[in-house]
Amino acid sequence: MQTKKILQDYTKEELSRMITPSFRAKQIYSWVYHKYVEHFEQMKNLPQQMREQLSEAFTLMPLKILMVQDSIDGSRKYLFELHDGHTVEVVLLLMRDKEYHEDGSVKHQERYTVCISSQVGCKVGCAFCLTAKGGFMRDLSAGEIVEQVRQVKMDNGIDANRRVNLVFMGMGEPLDNLSAVAKSVQIFADEEGMAIATHRQTISTSGLSSKIKKLGEMDLGINLAISLHAVDDALRETLMPINKAYNIQSIIDAVNAFPVNSRKRVMFEYLVIRNVNDDITAAKKLLSLLDGIKAKVNLIYFNPYGGTEFERPEEKDMVAFQEYLVKRGLLCTIRESKGLDISAACGQLREQERGEAV
């Protein structure tokens, strides 16, 4: 069992109160988040005695890479081991955007997005989700969340200055671990650390309405994504038992109270499952449900795994659903099946490692 504190658990301000002289906190942040050091010994501008004291009190490597899987589409999936032997998944997604310039030239730009986990397992228990099948083990600390991104950047040689986006769409329900998640958002955003602006971070939730309100009051500037997946309470309850405690209307009310940057929208994720929620009647209801909300809809193909009763929707139904919404003025995209060949829906790599059928 680990007795040392995790350095990445602390904001720069906290760290500067924990060490003397306090200005060293800034230097430590730079070593950790810009120069990607693994040992305090490498922090050359710190006095030797301080390096020793720090390495006695803190660990810099609370996670270990256990498995890596590459997908043909460029996404890379990691299984990390925590100090107590639990494992979590992280996915690095690489998008190649085309940028059109005034002179007619086209520049290809690579954009990184890291999909991170907030808990080991999940309490919410959605019927379609593999993470839920393993039950809930524990919350991650802020540092364990922060370290997922640092190690993915280290492992891929992604320069500290390269822009990355973060999505809390890995394992766990971020709002069920709100204090650690909110703290990690702030640590990520530190200008002298990873400098990932809060508008580049997205928290995805199954819809804990009371916590959406709380998150809104924190006014962090993050983007909000709601995993809606169904437009009537009866169906949503069978897919997501949390709907019994927080029904669809309560989520809509919480979203309406959420502070959204004037250029941004709230994303509604809609996991499309064949013959369950893929009909046009659902699209129609979705349209009226989101009426008046600055929303965008992201349709997600259900990603099947061994033992599930659910099926991937047909492409034609997916497209018809999207067209119905788009023609009526609702922004709607279909999420590419990034990393489908490496089972990118979170929870799947972990199950594989545990030797169960995927």
Are 187 and 142 within 8 A, CB to CB? yes
Place of tokens 């809390």: 168
Does residue 124 interact with ligand SF4 by CB under 6 A? yes
Q: Would you call 89 a catalytic residue per the annotation? A: yes
Selection from 255, 249, 217, 212 nearest residue 233 by Cα: 249
Residue 176 contacts which entry, ligand SAH, ligand SF4, none (Cβ below 5-8 A, type-dependent):
none
d(CA 301, CA 283): 15
Instruction: Out of 19, 122, 149, 289, name the contact with ligand SF4 by CB under 6 A.
Output: 122
Residue 325, phi-psi category: left (phi > 0), alpha (psi -120 to 50), beta (remainder): alpha
Instruction: Out of 10, 40, 58, 128, name the contact with ligand SAH by CB under 6 A.
Output: 128
Instruction: Out of 131, 277, 298, 303, name the contact with ligand SF4 by CB under 6 A.
Output: 131
Does residue 142 interact with ligand SF4 by CB under 6 A? no
Near ligand SAH in 272-331, by CB under 6 A:
300, 302-303
Are 90 and 170 within 8 A, CB to CB? yes
Are 346 and 171 within 8 A, CB to CB? yes
The residue (of 172 and 193) whose beta carbon lies closer to ligand SF4 is 172
> Minimum distance from CB of 128 to ligand SAH (Å)?
5
Does residue 178 interact with ligand SAH by CB under 6 A? no
Residues 244-283, one symbol each (x = binds ligand SAH by CB under 6 A, - = not), give: -------------------------x-x------------
Does residue 204 interact with ligand SAH by CB under 6 A? yes
The alpha helices in 232-335, defined as continuous H runs, are 233-239, 248-256, 280-289, 315-327
d(CA 183, CA 64): 22
Contacts of 234 (CB under 8 A, 6+ apart): none
Residue 271 contacts which entry, ligand SF4, ligand SAH, none (Cβ below 5-8 A, type-dependent):
ligand SAH
Q: Is 49 in a helix, a strand, or coil?
A: helix
Place of tokens 């099926």: 311
Q: Would you call 332 a catalytic residue per the annotation? A: no
- Contacts to ligand SF4 by CB under 6 A: 122, 124-126, 129, 131-132, 172-173, 206, 227
Q: Among all residues, which ones are annotated catalytic?
A: 89, 346
